[in-house]
């Protein structure tokens, strides 16, 4: 089954490839151990063919206009000859449900375009799990020839960090509101941004200009410390609804990619991301095995109570549990 799936993904056309893509993603998202082993085999087979896309992360609060912007951008890029995959990281989607319908109806024209592939967030629970599936889906889309991958997130909890950790460029969309930028600074999202887009700039131009000045000065302070930057993060204004500024946005993306590539930063960033991803999965796996250990399960409730009620020091409890695991 796997060789034919690999074949259909790499060289299939139209509906054939699309079906293989859907099947492969279903395999990745399966929790059956047997499926997981097949998924790993599939990933290893496809990996040499992946990595050729430009990976763009786009974050912003609900209402900032992400879907409208991604639809406009996606159609624009398809017009330029690209194939565009849109993935989502939304750890809350398992609660809210129905995000498949959501994404596809919100991007009406893009979702029916043959050269686009839209996949809602996997709904497997934790952010780490959701991010892992999205990363793997991205690799498969790349192997299938999608040369632009857009990963969107609404910014629940740490999801921006996860998306910035799997993309080449991280774009933060902001409304022209005072305070919106301070929220982003506070949450540590601003410093992840390679590009900040102030959307709906047409509604209140003065506010947009003020926001742009504020964000620019904030970004300048961030970049003063830390590593010497090849790329100084920029701020642009646009109106996704009017289709205004999409080409300018794309010019900035290409300028970013070129400067990063020339400096060897793009490859370095991906290598760093892959290793960080490996360690993140290892940590998650270690914690899961710990929590599922029979001895740990037997001792944990009592020790938690002892720690809560001050009968045993937390570090002593930790050492006892670690000693108990597997014994």
Shortest approach of a copy of itself to residue 76 CB, angstroms? 30
CA distances from 240 to 152, 243, 319, 320 (A): 15, 5, 55, 57
**Partners of 170 in the β-ladder:** 57
Q: Which two tokens stand for residue 250?
A: 């794309």
CA nearest neighbour of 195 among 60, 52, 51, 79: 60
- In terms of CB distance, is 98 or 188 closer to a copy of itself? 188
- In terms of CB distance, is 77 or 317 closer to a copy of itself? 317
Shortest approach of a copy of itself to residue 12 CB, angstroms? 21
- In terms of CB distance, is 248 or 319 closer to a copy of itself? 319
Shortest approach of a copy of itself to residue 322 CB, angstroms? 4
- In terms of CB distance, is 47 or 262 closer to a copy of itself? 47
Shortest approach of a copy of itself to residue 81 CB, angstroms? 26
Token pair 């929220």 in the structure block, residue = 183
CA distances from 274 to 24, 152, 203, 279 (A): 21, 19, 41, 9
Three-state DSSP class for 79?
helix
The answer to whether the CB of 42 falls within 8 A of the CB of 77 is no
CA nearest neighbour of 272 among 165, 197, 139: 165
Shortest approach of a copy of itself to residue 155 CB, angstroms? 13
Shortest approach of a copy of itself to residue 290 CB, angstroms? 6
| Binding region for a copy of itself (CB under 8 A) | 36, 40, 43-44, 47-48, 50-51, 132, 135-136, 139, 179, 182-183, 185-186, 188, 190-191, 218, 221-222, 225, 271, 274-275, 277-279, 281-283, 285-287, 289-290, 303-304, 307-308, 310-319, 321-322, 326
- In terms of CB distance, is 143 or 238 closer to a copy of itself? 143
Q: Which helix (H) or strand (E) holds 292?
A: helix 265-292
Shortest approach of a copy of itself to residue 180 CB, angstroms? 11
- In terms of CB distance, is 178 or 254 closer to a copy of itself? 178
**Torsion 177-181-182-187 (CA) sign:** positive
- In terms of CB distance, is 9 or 78 closer to a copy of itself? 9
Shortest approach of a copy of itself to residue 165 CB, angstroms? 11
- In terms of CB distance, is 112 or 274 closer to a copy of itself? 274
Burial letters 275-289, b for 16+ CB under 10 A, else e? eebeeeeeeeeeeee
Q: Which two tokens stand for residue 65?
A: 């206009």
The answer to whether the CB of 155 falls within 8 A of the CB of 186 is no
């Amino acid at each position: 089954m796997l060789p034919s799936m690999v074949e259909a993904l790499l060289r299939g056309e139209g509906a054939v490839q699309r079906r293989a893509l859907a099947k492969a993603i279903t395999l990745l998202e399966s929790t059956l151990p047997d499926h997981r082993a097949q998924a790993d085999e599939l990933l290893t087979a496809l990996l040499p063919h992946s990595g050729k896309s430009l990976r763009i992360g786009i974050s912003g609060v609900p209402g900032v206009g992400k879907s409208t912007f991604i639809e406009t951008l996606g159609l624009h890029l398809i017009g330029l000859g690209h194939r565009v995959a849109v993935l989502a990281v939304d750890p809350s989607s398992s609660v809210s449900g129905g995000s498949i319908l959501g994404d596809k109806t919100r991007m009406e024209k893009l979702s029916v375009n043959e050269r686009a592939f839209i996949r809602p967030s996997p709904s497997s629970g934790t952010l780490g799990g959701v991010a892992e599936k999205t990363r793997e889906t991205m690799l498969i889309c790349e192997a299938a020839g999608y040369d632009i991958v857009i990963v969107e997130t609404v910014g629940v909890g740490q999801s921006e960090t996860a998306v910035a950790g799997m993309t080449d460029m991280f774009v933060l969309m902001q409304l022209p509101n005072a305070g919106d930028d301070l929220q982003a600074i506070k949450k540590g999202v601003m410093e992840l941004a390679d590009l900040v887009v102030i959307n709906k700039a047409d509604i209140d131009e003065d506010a947009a200009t003020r926001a742009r000045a504020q964000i620019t000065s904030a970004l300048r302070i961030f970049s003063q410390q830390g590593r010497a930057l090849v790329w100084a993060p920029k701020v642009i204004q646009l109106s996704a609804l009017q289709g205004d500024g999409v080409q300018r946005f794309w010019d900035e993306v290409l300028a970013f990619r070129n400067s990063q590539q020339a400096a060897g930063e793009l490859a370095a960033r991906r290598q760093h991301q892959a290793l960080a991803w490996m360690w993140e999965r290892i940590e998650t796996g270690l914690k899961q095995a710990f929590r599922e250990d029979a001895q740990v399960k037997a001792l944990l409730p009592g020790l938690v109570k002892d720690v809560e009620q001050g009968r045993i020091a937390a570090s002593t409890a930790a050492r006892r549990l670690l000693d108990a695991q597997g014994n």
